[in-house]
Structure 1
Amino acid sequence: MFRGISAISLDGKGRLSIPTKHRERLIEQCDGQLIVTIDRDGCLLLYPLPEWEEVEAKLVRLSSTNRAARSLKRLLMGHAEECQLDAAGRVLLPAPLREFAKLDKRVVLVGQGNKFELWDEQTWGQLREEWLADSAGTSGDLPDDLESLAF
């Protein structure tokens, strides 16, 4: 499980240094093979290869006649790029994906259980404040099995 938030600086080549606490697990889980793709919320999603393969298999099975399913496949699979952890624990993020998520120097890596989200630090801070402000009134929007987790 990947959890927690890490503030990180991208280097001049667009490389992300994966925090030490996650490197070992990524090497064990996927030999450092990762998939990075876009998310409709404006961040990047970083998956260990085996986790991505499960997502991709589900996407492939979606109906090609359903407009929303086609759009989702185009966005997630169409932008998916293979990346590899280097010996120093860094991942080179493709320039078009960095541009999409407006990643420059300061980024935030957010653990999401089976994957990571990668946000521009300033965007993350603004959205987090909005989500916190909205959280008081949105518990009714949660699935029933998550209602008890609302704070």
Structure 2
Amino acid sequence: MFRGGHAINLDAKGRITIPTAYRAELQDCCERQMIITYALDEKGKSEIGCLWLYPLPEWERLEQTISKLPTVSKTASRLRRMLIGNAHECEMDKQGRLLIAETLRTHAGFNKNIFLLGQLNKFEVWSLEAWQAKQQEWQQDDDDEDLDVLENLSF
């Protein structure tokens, strides 16, 4: 399980360095094999400023789930095109670096400052500016539409 957030840098070659705390786990769970793709928002649209980074076994579980969706569904087709169609394999090197494909970096609007956010079975990789803006948006949001999701949780 991945948790916590880390400010990291994108180097001149388009690589990020995974924090040391996650490297052994990523070696054990996926032999450093990962998949990076577009992130989707709550409405299934591309989340500008963010990418999703999955260990390969987690990604394969997601692919199996997506493969069972109806092929004639507009929503399922969009999901396949966005996630599967934009997925790139990447391998973490021995120094913990991952190369992010240029098309993904451009789509997400990445520059040097990146924020890596653990999200249980995957990471979100944010442009630092987009992450800060999204945090502000969430703090100001008074939408209580999904409060029923929180009913059974105890904090």
Q: Does structure 1 residue 37 correspond to structure 2 residue 37?
A: yes
Q: Which protein is richer in helix relative to its size?
A: 1
Shift of 1:140: 3.9
Equivalence for 1:5: 5
Counterparts in 2 of 1:69-84, with a 5 A limit?
69-84=76-91
SS of the equivalent of 1:36 reads strand
Superposition deviation, residue 20 in structure 1: 0.4
Aligned-pair RMSD on alpha carbons?
1.5
Residue in structure 2 matched with residue 100 of structure 1 by the alignment: 107
| Pairwise CA distance, 1:148 | 5.5
Deviation at 1:139, TM superposition (A): 3.6
Deviations 1:1-33 (A, max 9, x none): 100010001110000100001111101100000
Confirm or deny: 8 A CA contact 1:139 1:150 kept in the other structure.
no
SS in 2 for 1:13: coil
Q: 1:6 is matched by which residue type in structure 2?
A: H
What is residue 68 of structure 2 aligned with on the other side?
A: 61
Quick one: which of 121, 132, 150 aligns to 1:146? 150
For 1:125-140, list aligned pairs within 5 A. Answer: 125-134=132-141, 137-140=142-145
Give the whole-Å Cα distance in 1 for the aligned partners of 2:52 and 2:86: 10
- Unaligned 5+ runs, structure 2: 40-45
Could you give the per-residue CA deviations for residues 61-102 of structure 1, whole angstroms, max 9, x where no partner exists? 111111011001000000011000101110000000001111
Aligned amino acid, residue 105 of structure 1: K
State how far apart, in whole Å, the 2-side matches of 1:88 and 1:14 are. 15
From the superposition, tell whether residues 150 and 99 of structure 1 become closer, same or farther in structure 2 (CA, over 3 Å): farther
Corresponding residue for 1:16? 16
What percentage of residue pairs aligned between the two structures are identical? 45
Q: Which amino acid aligns with 2:146?
A: D
Structure 1 residue ranges without an equivalent (≥5): none
Cα pair 1:7 1:108 within 8 Å, conserved: yes
Cα shift readout 1:26-62 (whole Å, capped 9, x = no counterpart): 0110000000000121210000000000001111111
> Shift of the alpha carbon at 1:150?
9.2
Number of residue pairs the alignment of both structures matches: 148
